[in-house]
Every structure is written in structure tokens, then in C-alpha cells.
Structure 1
């Protein structure tokens, strides 16, 4: 225990000498929390800039533009020509633009199905693409219904029959666990925890590999009595406490002042955060043991952590991926944290719903033992390049 305590003190001393440790943990999480919680503060991004090129200039096209501008998501900006709108979208000034063709009103009134061009900025598919396209498509459907209603009224059809023709099937939607359909409820928590996992991988792998880069690993081993287990334990304890504290602060903020839905126990969510932190630390140890050079270890950690967002399943269901890629998702702790979060926070199923996620996260703790001997030799003999 005295040796572990000495290593902990040594690590804390390194924190005071190298600000990168606190900037890469507290600084990154604070900046990310402020940005994403502000960006998603109202549940959805507001007033996305959408361009409109009106080549018809009819009452129908002007009404469509007014209705599109009145929506919660869209803010319309008019353009005289398609090249002008395209240039604005290429420079990121607008998320999408709509081209209303000539004779639009005439073809609508004659039921000739005019074609309206919609061009989306795919550089930002979540915000610029999906949301703006959804807003435009919604207004197109409303315009179509309004025109049909006007024509049927002129033919003397009563209101009940008109509505039955325009919308024969009415949906009664009930959103389980996210009644207000807030993007923040399922994106905010996962993005912040995903960034936390990324910070853990980068900071811990940097901490372990920097001992090799600066040639201090032999001194560290001597301090631990030539035991790689005591060395890694002593170095990881401060990071475990730091990152777990950051994760707990995030959870308490989300489920407290921000009123994110929580049907289960906050203690269970905190447990999942602790397991996630230890799982990512274990992966960082494994990466450094396999690639005992600072530059490569940090690069691999960055790549691995970024891919975790794709394989977590909170933006695209894992079941929609090819079978081979579905298996890859098991290599990422964020995937199991997401399942844990859904079962406990959204559905409130209790231990029966997330015990298997706990087991999966605990399995990651055994990964460092694969490269334990290799890491010991790297620390003791320093046979690898330092650049």
C-alpha cells in the first residue's frame, strides 16, 4: 500500500507540472458540456438557415415560403438563382435549399405533380441534413394537403369527407421515455459520456506512454518494487477518481437541474459510469502495452474512441448494420453503457435489465492482462523508440 501511495503522489505531482492532464480531462469535459447542453438546450436546434429559390413567384409558392419560415426549425433566406444558393450552401451559410420550379402553381392546381428540388448539405448530416430535410418535407406535405382541400371544397365536398381523403389514417404517437421528443435526452448524455471515454483513453494512454518517451519508466518500476501491477494500479487510481467524479457531475447535472428522464435509480447510473471509466482505462493500458510509443498509442486511442460513437447504437441501431459489423460493436464499452442507460434511465427495468451490461463492462478489465508481460518489458528495458 505504501508503494501505491507513493506512486499516487508522484502522479499528482506530474499533474501539477503538466497542465495537459487537467486540460484534457476537466477542461475538455467543461467545454463539451457547455457547448452541447447549450446547443441542445431547447431539445432541438432552432432556426436552421434554409435557402429558397422561387422561380414561380405565385401565391402558392409565396405561401409555402411563409409557412416554411414560420416553423420552429427553419429560417428562410431567399435567393435569385440556383448558383447563388449553391455557393451559400458550399460555404456553410445555409443547411439546405429548395428550388421551386416555374409554373409550380399551375401544375399544382392541375394535379400534375410538379417536382420541387431539395439540396442538402451532407457535410453535417445530423443537423444540416436530417433536420432541415425533415422540415422541408413536412411543409411540402402540408402544402399538398392544403391544395387538395381547396380543390375538394370547390367541388362541394364536405369537411369530414375532405379530411378522410387527405389523411385517411391518423397516427396517435406516444413516445416512450421521451414524451417531448427532445434530442437532448438521448444525444446529450451519450455524447458527453462518449467524450468522457475519449478523454480517458487519450489522457491515460498519454500518461502511460510518456513514461517511456521521457525515460522515467525505470524509476517508476523501482518505486513500485519492480511490480508492473503495483505500477499500473498506482497510476490509474487518480485517473479513476478524477474521471468518475467528472462522470458523476455530468449525471447529476443532467438528471437534476436539466430534468432528463430517469425512471430508475441514480446510483445504478453512477455504477455504470464507474464501470465505463475502468473499462476505458483498461483499454488504454492494453493499447500502450501493444504499442509502447507515445505517438502511435495516442493515435490508436483517438481512432478507437471516435469509432465508439458509431458502434454505440444511439444514432443508428446496431441491428441495421451488416452482421460482421454488429459483432464489432461488442469491442466498445460505450455500446454497453448505452444499453445500460436505456434500460435503467429510460425504462427503469432495474438489475434484471442491465446485469449483462455490467458483466460485459467487467470483461474489459481483464484485457490488460493480455499485454501485461509486454508492458513490463517495455517499462524495464525501454527497447522501443521514444519519438
Structure 2
């Protein structure tokens, strides 16, 4: 039994000494992840988009048009930064992203409004940024809707009808919006946690392949394998165990900051969140080991895992539902641990579901743990052959 434990413990002690001797490891394993936690905890501010720069083109310059402009200026979503003399200038400013939308009050607006001749208020917004465009569109519609009914209500009241009767005739069906799990429409509720782990998986991939590749790059692989008694499995697991412990600790801290200190609402307890996070960390490390075993040159594999991390961020399902993606892309998303982790997290956070209800995603993450086993012999042969020592 001692013979079995000896090589693993030797690799573990050797890696701990390497981590302590170089400040790079402390920076990428501790400082950078903690910065990501702080960044995702503060990036959304109050949780809603506020003070989005917009412009106004007032071609009427009457009391009615000034009332419309003052109403726009009072909306927290907007910040009227510029008043334009014509639509062309406002359009050019929108294209240059100096503003993200503008309102046009046409000539004779007040005259048409009082005469009941169909006064028109036009607004334009930059929709290349979907989240900003959607926010501006919703705010414009909410603010300007009362103005569309004002002439009819005024005329009907003058004829003797009550205001409530006219409004019930104009809007016969009243809609009520009740957003589930996020009633305040707070961006941090549904973006902070998944975005952090999307960034985190990129760090895990890069640190894992660098820790393995540095042995080849600096030609220290002989001491590494000898300490593991020439057992590649013990060499890899013993080397990566300290990083696993650090990453899981950072993940637990991130969950505590997001759901404890920031009080992001969630249905499940901390244990399911942390267990799924630990499984995600190990699965991501196994994916990195698999990729490194295929391309054991640090210069090549860092580029490969950077691409994989970027694709994982796109295919995680945070910004666009995965089931509605193009079918080949949908099937490709199953190759990324972060996609399964996001699905498990959403089931736990919003539905108080158990792991049993997320068994396909949990099973997929468990399969990632077996992914490196078939290619470890290839990694051992590649290291012993010295073919990759001179590849930068």
C-alpha cells in the first residue's frame, strides 16, 4: 500500500514546491479568478440598464414637443446627451455609437395633436447590440404609449364620456407581466453566475495545459515521471490535484459572493450548487488533459484550448437557447462541459430540481472524467520521444 501511495505523494509534493516557487501560479490560480469574481459581482451595477445615451430631434419646438422631451429626460433608462437640428445628424451619431437611439418630434406636431390629425412620434435605436436595443425599444414604447391615447381621450371627455370608460374602450385587454424567478428584471440575477463560470472554464483550461506543458517546455519531464515511478496516470493526477483544490475553493467562494453577499435569489441550497461546480471543475480539467494529450506542444495547445473556451462560452446557452441553435451546432454543444454545467445550474437555481432531474447533463460531465484515459498512453509516448521539446 505504501508503494502505491508513494509516487502519488511525491508528485503532489513536487508540484506544491513548483507552485510556491513561481509567482505566476499564484497570479493565474488565485488572483485572476478572484478578480473575475469581483468583476462579475460589480459589472451590472444596480442590475438594470440606466443612463443610456440618446438624442432628441425636436422639429416642432412647441409646448407639446417640450413636454414629450421632458418626459423622455425623466426616464431612468435614458440620458438625453444631445439635441440635434436634423435627423441626418442624429442618425450619424447613432452609427458612430455616440448615442444608441433618438426621438424625432415632427413639424406641426402640436397642431396635428390638437386637431386630431394623427400626429406621429418616431424613434430609432441601434439594434446591433441586442440587449441595449431591446432596452431602448421597451422604454420608448412604455413612455410614448400614453401620448398615443391623449387626443382621443381628450376629445371623448370633452363630449361627456368619462376618462375610465374611454381608456377601457381603447385598451379593452389589460396585460400584466410577472417575470418568473427574476421579477425585478435584474441582469445580475441570470447573468452573473453563468458568465463567471464561462470565464472560469477558460482559466481552468489554460492553467491545466500550461502546468502539463511546462514540464516539456522547460525539460523537467524526466524528474516529473521519475517522481511518479514512470506511471503517467499518477503523474497527471498528482500534478493537477492542487489546482483542482484551488479551483473548487474559488468556485465555492464565488457561489458565496453571488448568492450569499449579493443575495441573488436561488431555489436550491449551497450544497447542490457546490457539488455541481466541483464536478464541472474536474470535467473541465479532464477536457484540458485530453486536448493536451493530443497536442503535447504548449504553443499549439494553448491556442487550441483558447478556441475551445471561446466556443464553450458561445455554446453554453447563456445568451441564446441551445436547443434552438442550428442542429449541427446544437449537437456540437454537447462536447463542452460548460454547456452541461449551465443546464444543471439553471435547473437547480430556478426549479429547485434535484440531480436526478438533470441526469443527462450530470452523466455527460461524468463521462468527461473518463475522456483522458484512452489518450494518456499517447501522452506518455510523446513525452518520452522528446518530439515536442523544441516546438514553441
- Per the normalisation by structure 2, the TM-score is 0.89
> Which one of the candidate residues 103, 116, 121 is aligned to 2:122?
116
Cα distance, 1:245 vs. partner?
0.5
Cα distance, 1:242 vs. partner?
0.5
Residues 278-311 of structure 1: CA distance to partner in whole angstroms, max 9, x if unpaired?
1110111112112222222112212211222222
Corresponding residue for residue 258 of structure 1: 262
Q: Which stretches of structure 1, 4 residues or more, deviate above 6 A after TM superposition?
A: none
Corresponding residue for residue 147 of structure 2: 143
> Which one of the candidate residues 309, 315, 324 is aligned to 1:311?
315
Corresponding residue for residue 97 of structure 1: 102
Structure 2 unaligned spans of 5+: none
CA distance in 2 between counterparts of 1:58 and 1:382 reads 81
Cα distance, 1:84 vs. partner?
4.8
Corresponding residue for residue 241 of structure 1: 245
Cα distance, 1:381 vs. partner?
1.8
- Per the normalisation by structure 1, the TM-score is 0.90
May I ask how many residue pairs the two structures share in their alignment? 385
Cα distance, 1:4 vs. partner?
1.9
Q: Is the 8 A contact 2:323 2:330 kept in 1?
A: yes
| Pair 261,77 (structure 1): closer, same or farther in 2 beyond 3 Å | same
Q: Secondary structure at the match of 1:76?
A: strand
Corresponding residue for residue 343 of structure 2: 339
| Pair 64,361 (structure 1): closer, same or farther in 2 beyond 3 Å | farther
Residues 26-73 of structure 1: CA distance to partner in whole angstroms, max 9, x if unpaired?
222222222332232422132222222323333343333222222232
Residues 153-199 of structure 1: CA distance to partner in whole angstroms, max 9, x if unpaired?
34543223322233222223332222322211110111111111111
CA distance in 2 between counterparts of 1:268 and 1:298 reads 32
Give the 5 Å matches for 1:189-338: 189-338=193-342
Residues 340-373 of structure 1: CA distance to partner in whole angstroms, max 9, x if unpaired?
1122222112233223322121111122124222
> Which one of the candidate residues 34, 55, 63 is aligned to 2:38?
34
Corresponding residue for residue 161 of structure 1: 165
Larger Rg: 2
Q: Secondary structure at the match of 1:52?
A: strand
Q: Secondary structure at the match of 1:312?
A: coil
Cα distance, 1:134 vs. partner?
2.8
CA distance in 2 between counterparts of 1:351 and 1:46 reads 38
Q: Secondary structure at the match of 2:371?
A: helix
CA distance in 2 between counterparts of 1:171 and 1:292 reads 59
Structure 1 unaligned spans of 5+: none
Cα distance, 1:271 vs. partner?
0.4
Give the 5 Å matches for 1:53-92: 53-80=57-84, 81-82=86-87, 84-85=89-90, 88-89=93-94, 92=97
Q: CA RMSD, aligned part only?
A: 2.4
